[in-house]
Amino acid sequence: MILIFGGAYQGKKEYAIKNYDIEIEDILTLSEDDRTLPEAPAYENLQKFTLGFAKRGESADKYLKENMELLKDKIVISDDISSGIVPVDTTLRAWREMHGRCLNMLAGEADEVVRVFCGIGSRIK
């Protein structure tokens, strides 16, 4: 697995297309409504996927851990939502914590981890 993360609008998807053998059509955009990971070579908006779990009171980290085999040869793109002001809303705060656990777990399992800032990728694993 390749995990690509960084702030919103920092060029993560464009970085993936430029540096890995994928086309824009290969990247599945996840949403809050997704309850499972459909088959695709790459996923973007992991943060929206985990937000849906938080809003439903479910555990995205548990789902991902149980389905890690699905991500074995994939590219996963996510916003880093760990910076800034901690949300007052309890659901959003729980989401932020859950999403952090998910990124930690995925980074631990990933073959490669890249942080993208201003379109420039820094390989950190």
pLDDT digits (tens, 9 = 90+) for 93-123: 999 999 999 999 999 999 999 999 999 999 9
Residue 8 φ/ψ, nearest 5 degrees? -60, 140
In this prediction the pTM is: 0.94
Owning domain of residue 21:
2-6+15-86+93-123
Q: What is the CATH number of the domain that holds 71?
A: 3.40.50.300
DSSP conformational letter for 115: E
Buried b (16+ CB within 10 A) or exposed e, 86-125: eeeeeeeeebbebbebbbeebbeebeebbbbeeeebeeee
Task: Render each residue's pLDDT in the chain as its tens digit; 125 residues.
Answer: 999 999 999 999 999 999 999 999 999 999 999 999 999 999 999 999 999 999 999 999 999 999 999 999 999 999 999 888 888 889 999 999 999 999 999 999 999 999 999 999 999 99
The total domain count for the chain is 1
DSSP conformational letter for 85: P
